[in-house]
Structure 1
Amino acid sequence: MHLLRPPETLHDTPGSRLSHGGLLDTPAGLFTVLALEHRPVPPLAGSALPWLVYLTLPGNSHGTLALPAIRNDPEYGVEFVICRFGPVPDRGGLMLVIRHAFLPRQVGLSLDAPAVPSAQAVLLAEPALVGAAGSGDVRVWHSGVLRVGGLLHTHLEATAERPGLLAGPDWDVSPNRPPGTPRPVEVRAEPVGSYRGGTGQTGEQHSGVDALLTVPESDLRLSWTCHPLGITGTSVIPAS
């Protein structure tokens, strides 16, 4: 796990603000979370993805497309967009390009440019490898704890080196699990009242969950757990 760039604010107007939550080199490859602060939160656009996020070289018509997962919270006016790019061995000269109908123009960030840390999007806990199993065949990691406005976001994922390692009911993130069976990857918070919910995703080589929490008034203890592997990591987030 390596934080390539700290969180940065890429677009800021009276109507909306767009930040990324840190560009990470993870076991799943290049990863980031976008956070759009907007009131009202843009509605999901049915079957059409409202976001287009990709990596490209300037002047190149080809790019590495992210397949974003979206988690929004209308009450707090923040939409989180989880972006996975996969392995990108050569990042020299690349630009991160972001398009959305609520942005007045496309947003571009050169990965070679000096980073300008954001005052609005802040990592309260650093991204980390939680643990590994099978000589590193499956690695469990989290994206850190990102604060945007009154919300916290974290992503927890088990990433496999090859397809088939995460097959079977133990790795099922769907609601169809047997009663009382936890998700394979789970984020817990104490006190529990700060937890606003989570969504799971799965694929041939990953099983993950995104969790949203409110900024705590007292110290918040977070735990990231992978139940099939018996691996847990913890962090204490100080009160705001």
Structure 2
Amino acid sequence: MHPTGPTLPLLRPPETLLDTPGTRLSHGGVLDTPAGLLTVLALEHRPVPPQGGAVSPWLVYLTMPGRPYGTLALPRLLDDQEYGVQLVICQFGQVAERRGLVLVMHHAFLPRSVGLFLDAAVTPSPAADLLAEPALLEPSRDGGAGERAGGAPEGVRVWHSGVLRVGGLLYTRLEATADRPGLLVGPAWDPSPRRPADSPPPLEVRTEPPGGHRHFARSWGEEHSAVDAVLLAERAPLRLDWTCHPLGMSNTRALGAG
């Protein structure tokens, strides 16, 4: 087993932003990752609102009061109709100035737009819980391809977003972030079904005992490779493994019952 690596800055812990009859909106923490600011919104409602086709119905952005523009996220959606949860993965990239920023969320399904000042006082969420903090992965003891002499991969940082529990579900993101284009090309980084049958996907999220997986979503480019995983929260105690096969990196976290 490989322990969790160095933690990543958590700018805000999970909070519940809107709680009305039948609808609850929480965020799973605002994280400062190698890819920039990241947050995951959790909309709890039955039934889960439709995605709205190829264009996301969510508008999520960072701005300052009175500013005519903002930093827009491009949300990715993971729906679970059975559990009544829609997860909205929002990446903003690198944001240099954060003082006075407000996070704004809008969806036609919400009774109103929701805003959160990033430097406001924190109100812990009764509904969303971060069971494991976001962390960088470290090389496995036996090393791996792509590893430089000091034990760290050259130009690539691999990290996970922690483990968010909301309702009966767990969410985590595992990403390899490159400092420049071209570092994550080649067959070893290909997450598609075109890879050889005996080749594992570049990034894996596994559980022990196995099973309990609800949804996976993968993305890949010259500067990133990522997998978003939704798991059942009811299978506890549970061990979660994050693995980056091309770089021989792995972390493990044991989650207790409850």
TM range (shorter): over 0.9
Name the TM-score, length of structure 1 as normaliser: 0.96
Within a 5 Å distance, the mapping from 1:52-63 to structure 2 comes to 52-63=59-70
CA RMSD of aligned residues (A): 1.3
- State the 1:89 CA deviation: 1.3
Name the TM-score, length of structure 2 as normaliser: 0.90
- State the 1:144 CA deviation: 0.4
Partners in 2 of 1:74 and 1:144 — Cα distance?
23
Partners in 2 of 1:37 and 1:2 — Cα distance?
26
Partners in 2 of 1:140 and 1:160 — Cα distance?
9
Greater radius of gyration (CA): 2
Q: Higher relative contact order by CA 8 Å / sep ≥ 6: 1 or 2?
A: 2
Partners in 1 of 2:61 and 2:194 — Cα distance?
33
2:173 aligned with 1:155, yes or no?
yes
Look up the match of 2:248. 230
Corresponding letter in the other structure for 1:234: T
- State the 1:216 CA deviation: 3.1
Partners in 2 of 1:196 and 1:180 — Cα distance?
23
Corresponding letter in the other structure for 2:83: Y
Look up the match of 2:5. none
Q: Could you tell me which of 34, 37, 43 is aligned with 1:36?
A: 43
Identity rate of aligned residues, in percent?
64
Look up the match of 1:99. 106
2:19 aligned with 1:12, yes or no?
yes
Deviations 1:122-177 (A, max 9, x none): 00111111137555510000000000000000000000001110011111122322
- State the 1:217 CA deviation: 4.0
Partners in 2 of 1:158 and 1:220 — Cα distance?
24
Look up the match of 1:182. 200
Deviations 1:34-65 (A, max 9, x none): 11101000112112211111000111121101
Look up the match of 2:72. 65
- State the 1:193 CA deviation: 2.3
Corresponding letter in the other structure for 2:138: G
Secondary structure at the aligned position of 2:191 is classed as: coil
Q: How many residues are aligned here? A: 240
Gaps of 5+ in 1: none
Corresponding letter in the other structure for 1:228: P
